[in-house]
Amino acid sequence: MIYPLLHWLVSALSLLATAYIVPGFKIKDFSSALIAAFIIGLANIVIRPILLFLTFPINILTLGLFTFVVDGVILKMCAAVLKGFEISSWMAAIFGAMILALVGTILHLLLI
């Protein structure tokens, strides 16, 4: 029971670290990061598989790198509906998706 909560907290920390690293990627505070992590998690469950299916040919041609664009789209969509979470440009969203994946992986390996 504690693992999902820990995963959620580490995801929120990853978002805060990404906001610190990527210009144009802003999170107001830790509570906004918690809400954003939850909404991004829901979007990854519902929307991401559909987008990956629709972009499968492009993903094959780019050897999987287009996945970062899909992740950037999801981040940008979540930032559009959340109050304390802003992404200023598409490049910030895509670069933020890359950094978020890297930071999230490192923090999950270290803390969980």
- pLDDT for residue 97: 95
pLDDT at 108 over 90: no
Mean pLDDT, residues 24-47 taken together: 94
pLDDT at 54: 96
Q: Is the dihedral of CA 82, 33, 46, 64 positive or negative?
A: positive
Whole-model pTM: value is: 0.91
| pLDDT exceeds 80 at position 1 | no
Cα dist from 95 to 7, 73, 110, whole Å = 22, 11, 23
Give the up-direction half-sphere exposure of residue 64: CA atoms within 13 A in the CB hemisphere: 1
pLDDT of 112 over the 80 cut: no
